[in-house]
Amino acid sequence: MDEKKKRKVTPKSKSKTIDYRDALLTISPGTRIREAISMMLQGQLGALICIGDTKKLAGLSTGGVELNAVCTPQLLYELSKMDGAIILNEDATQILYANRFLTPSNAISSLETGTRHIAAERTAKQAKCAVVCVSERRSSVTLYVQNMRHALDSLPTLLNKATQALQTLEKYITSLNQSMLELSTREFEDMVTIFDVAKAVQRCQMAHLIAREIEPYIIELGTEGRLVKLQLEELRIPIAEARLVIKDYYKPKNGFKYENALQKLDDLSHNELLTLSAISQALGYGSNLRTVDTYLTPRGYRILSQTKRLTPQIVENLVERFGTLQQIVRAPKDELVAVEGVGEVLAERVRLSLNNLRSQLALDRSRS
């Protein structure tokens, strides 16, 4: 008895929507697209390179030739000598069409003036894709991603902007470290107010905001941004530790959690961060700092993380068991040992680290 062979049906892969970050990575230095763009600029050629859902792009264009060829910088450069657009797949590894005439809807608004740039912007909006427009007259490159427009800077300009941003961040980190030093001293003295907390969080969030502004430069720099990325990662270490201040002092009420406070603070604009009352509200307190005349006690996440001897889970266990930093500092050794994950050796090291940190803070304060 013959058995019928069943054909294996491969499900169709869903086309992904290219976002701004993906598009920047696709055309960043070190990629085949960027190499082709450099060749076009040197040869004073223009081009329209569309990257996205090939079915949508094929429906918004006519004419040309179908290639289905592997995308290489040399082939892209040669195809740019023709007037029409070049259509690539979503990950820009295949050239599907060349010399295509783009026909997006005229009803789509555009602030551009040149014919090529207007077609690029409208196509990016309608097909929800990325379109790279290389202008031979301006010797410029413009990226359109859905509703976004970005003019690419030269590598020297980008490196200069990234360097200036890093220098600004370094100044903020210096100020942040001083603020954390003052807060730590007040925490051991049990004399922290909401004003002190809001001020410390302000410095932390300002540095965090600047660090986020450097990220697009690194993406756009591609392989040329390795050193900038390493410097940013190094500068972000104090920011990550300082953000534990939020976890130490947010006010839980009506289901308001640490993640909610963190999100509210991240949503604050630069101008809002300049107002301590806005930070106080994001932490769950009142907007009028003068009405809060009581002292606050930290839970201990930040100080315990500075001991460098405890895992995040053990820190969580200590805070859950004792509730505040002061209770942890005053806890006898046998009570520390009773906490899950803390043995006799670790308990003694924690006590010694906290005492050393308090002594060092007192010494630093007397010198200043």
In a domain, 9, yes or no: no
The C-alpha atoms of residue 333 and residue 316 are separated, in whole angstroms, by 18
End residue of a domain, out of 282, 298, 314 = 298
Return the ∠ at Cα 241 (arms to 237 and 245), rounded to 5°.
150
Statement to judge: residues 163 and 247 lie in one domain: yes
Kindly calculate the radius of gyration of the chain based on its CA atoms and give it in whole angstroms.
28
End residue of a domain, out of 269, 298, 327 = 298
Statement to judge: residues 248 and 367 lie in one domain: no
Report helix, strand or coil for 38: helix
End residue of a domain, out of 298, 315, 349 = 298
Sign of CA dihedral 185, 188, 189, 194: positive
Statement to judge: residues 171 and 287 lie in one domain: yes
Q: What is the pLDDT of residue 4?
A: 42
Statement to judge: residues 172 and 278 lie in one domain: yes
Query: Mean of the per-residue pLDDT values for the chain?
Result: 89
Statement to judge: residues 123 and 141 lie in one domain: yes
Where residue 189 falls among pLDDT bands split at 50, 70, 90?
Answer: confident
- Do the bridges between strand 85-88 and strand 47-51 make them parallel or antiparallel, or are there none, so unpaired? parallel
In a domain, 70, yes or no: yes
Among 115, 96, 94, which Cα is nearest to 104's? 115
Query: Residue 259 sits in which domain range?
Result: 154-298
- Kindly report, residue by residue over 17-59, the tens digit of the pLDDT: 788 999 999 999 999 999 999 999 999 999 999 999 999 999 9
Statement to judge: residues 201 and 140 lie in one domain: no
CATH number of the domain that residue 130 is part of? 3.40.1700.10
- Do the bridges between strand 65-70 and strand 148-151 make them parallel or antiparallel, or are there none, so unpaired? unpaired
Residue 345: HSE in the Cβ half-sphere, 13 Å Cα cutoff: 1
CATH number of the domain that residue 360 is part of? 1.10.150.20
CATH number of the domain that residue 172 is part of? 1.20.1260.110
Over residues 96-105, the mean pLDDT reads 96
Structurally, the chain folds into a number of domains equal to 3
The C-alpha atoms of residue 235 and residue 343 are separated, in whole angstroms, by 34
The C-alpha atoms of residue 325 and residue 175 are separated, in whole angstroms, by 24
Statement to judge: residues 177 and 242 lie in one domain: yes
Percent of the chain that is helix, strand, coil (3-state, to 5): 55, 10, 30
Statement to judge: residues 255 and 289 lie in one domain: yes
Q: What is the pLDDT of residue 220?
A: 92
Statement to judge: residues 167 and 272 lie in one domain: yes
Statement to judge: residues 90 and 197 lie in one domain: no
Which token pair is 267? 């949503």
Q: What is the pLDDT of residue 8?
A: 40
Largest CA distance in the chain: 95
Statement to judge: residues 260 and 206 lie in one domain: yes
Over residues 194-209, the mean pLDDT reads 94
Query: Percentage of the chain with pLDDT > 90?
Result: 70
Sign of CA dihedral 189, 194, 196, 201: positive
Statement to judge: residues 85 and 144 lie in one domain: yes
Chain-centroid distance, C-alpha 80: 34
Where residue 267 falls among pLDDT bands split at 50, 70, 90?
Answer: very high
The C-alpha atoms of residue 180 and residue 177 are separated, in whole angstroms, by 5
Query: Percentage of the chain with pLDDT > 70?
Result: 92
